[in-house]
Amino acid sequence: MKQIHLSIFLALGMIFYSCTSTNSSNSNPPQSDFPLVNSTFDSSGHPSLDGWLHDNSDVDSTATFLQDAPPGLGGTWSIALIPGWVPFRESVERSFTGLSSGVYQLTAWTKIRNLNNFVLAGQIGITKISGGKSDAKTLTTGDSTAWHPLTLLDTLTLQSTDTVQIKLDGGTCEVCAIDSVLYNNITFKKLP
């Protein structure tokens, strides 16, 4: 009788273990494949950099936020980056380490406020920093005054010590009649 109970106990234990153990063919990619998903510039209804580093080399200022966001995507606040006098660019950036090699996609929703012809539009960019050297790929935001997604792809060959930086900037100008370049809903991920 004890042998039957022991056999049943072991069988149930093996069934329980097989149902709860992780499967090596898990379809969920590692978290590092999705370092940033739908990053907005608000937290609990208030404007926030939430992990982004703001840089305005042209003027000593703080980040500017506007209550304007792409419809239907969530969030209320967007970062508003003002074009700087050449060569300065107001920007926000985030850095990642420990990423694996592959094709990465940076998507940002953007729009221009009060565009004029004297503006070099903002840019989104992916920069690989390795051994003190930088290699950047950028894409210009264009001149649309309506919210639209902008997507940049880059193939990165990475070492474990490399840093990958994503950057959003407000462009440059000589006669600045542009109000700002707005960004929201930023996603940075490794493609399968």
Q: pLDDT digit string (tens) for 89-136?
A: 889 999 999 999 999 999 999 998 876 655 567 899 999 999 999 999
Instruction: Mark 86-117 as b/e (b = at least 16 C-beta within 10 Å).
Output: eebbbbbebebeebeeeebebbbbbbbeebee
Higher pLDDT, 31 or 54: 54
C-beta atoms surrounding 19 within 10 Å: 7
Domain 35-190 has CATH 2.60.120.260: yes
Give dist(CA 128, CA 134) in Å, integer: 6
pTM of the model: 0.79
From 90, 92, 64, select the one nearest 78 (Cα to Cα).
Answer: 64
Give the residue carrying structure tokens 């953007």.
Answer: 110
C-beta atoms surrounding 181 within 10 Å: 29
